[in-house]
Amino acid sequence: MATDGDCNKSITVKCICSDKKVVEVDRKTWELFNKMVPEEGFHRLREPVEMYFVRSTAFKKILTYCVRISDGTCSERWMSDELLHSESLIGLFHLVETAEFLNFESLDAFILKYVEDKSEAEISFMVRNEQLHSLLKIVKSARFYVKNPEKLFSVVLPLVKKSQEEFSQMIVNKDLRSLIKLIKMAKYVGYENVRKAARDHILSKSSNQLSHEIHSQNLKSLIKIFKVAKAEKLQPLEDMVVQYVDSKSKMELVRMVSTELCCERSNFLNESEYLRRGTIESEELLRYPGAEEAEEAEEAEEAEEEATNQVPIDEATNQIPIDDGRKRKEECKNRTRKLKLVPCISKKPRTTKLKMNKDLSDI
- Whole-number pLDDT of residue 277: 85
Distance of CA 187 to the CA centre of its chain: 15
- Whole-number pLDDT of residue 337: 42
Strands across the sheet containing 12-17: 22-26, 12-17, 49-51
- Whole-number pLDDT of residue 278: 85
Residues 50, 56, 62, 68, Cα dihedral to 10°: 120
Q: What residue spans define the domains of the chain?
A: 206-302
Q: Across all residues in the chain, what is the average pLDDT?
A: 82
pLDDT tens per residue across span 241-277? 999 999 999 999 999 999 999 989 999 999 999 888 8
- Whole-number pLDDT of residue 108: 93
pLDDT tens per residue across span 100-156? 999 999 999 999 999 999 999 999 999 999 999 999 999 999 999 999 999 999 999
Instruction: List the Cα angle 89/90/96 in 5-degree steps.
Output: 90
Average confidence (pLDDT) over 310-337: 47
132, 171 in Cβ contact below 8 A? yes
pLDDT-wise least confident of 121-125, 234-238, 298-302, 317-321: 317-321
Please give, one letter per residue, the 3-state secondary structure of the chain. Answer: CCCHHHHHCCCEEEEEECCCCEEEEEHHHHHHHHHHCHHHCHHHCCCCEEECCCCHHHHHHHHHHHHHHHHCCCCHHHHHHHHCCCCCHHHHHHHHHHHHHCCCHHHHHHHHHHHHCCCHHHHHHHCCCCCHHHHHHHHHHHHHHCCCCHHHHHHHHHHHCCCHHHHHHHCCCCCHHHHHHHHHHHHHHCCHHHHHHHHHHHHHCCHHHHHHHHHCCCHHHHHHHHHHHHHCCCHHHHHHHHHHHHCCCHHHHHHHCCCCCHHHHHHHHHHHHHHHCCCCHHHHHHCCCCHHHHHHHHHHHHHHHHHHHCCCCECCCCECCCCCCHHHHHHHHHHHHHCCCCCCCCCCCCCCCCCCCCCCCCC
| Higher pLDDT pick, 361 / 167 | 167
Average confidence (pLDDT) over 64-73: 94
- Whole-number pLDDT of residue 39: 84
Distance of CA 233 to the CA centre of its chain: 21
Buried b (16+ CB within 10 A) or exposed e, 251-276: eebeebbeebbeebbebbbebbebbe
- Whole-number pLDDT of residue 320: 44
pLDDT-wise least confident of 10-24, 198-212, 229-243, 299-313: 299-313
Spatial distance between the Cα atoms of 34 and 15, rounded to a whole number of angstroms:
13
Percentage of residues in the chain having pLDDT higher than 70: 75
Q: Which of 12-26, 274-288, 296-310 has the highest mean pLDDT?
A: 12-26
Task: Using the predicted structure, report yes or no on whether residue 287 has a pLDDT greater than 70.
Answer: no
Spatial distance between the Cα atoms of 134 and 127, rounded to a whole number of angstroms:
9
Residue (of 203, 237, 229, 228) closest to 362 by Cα position? 228
pLDDT category at 36 given cuts 50, 70, 90 is: very high
* CA atoms within a 13 Å half-sphere pointing along the CA-CB vector of 323: 10
Residues in the chain: 363
- The pTM of the full predicted model, rounded to 2 decimals, is 0.73
* CA atoms within a 13 Å half-sphere pointing along the CA-CB vector of 120: 8
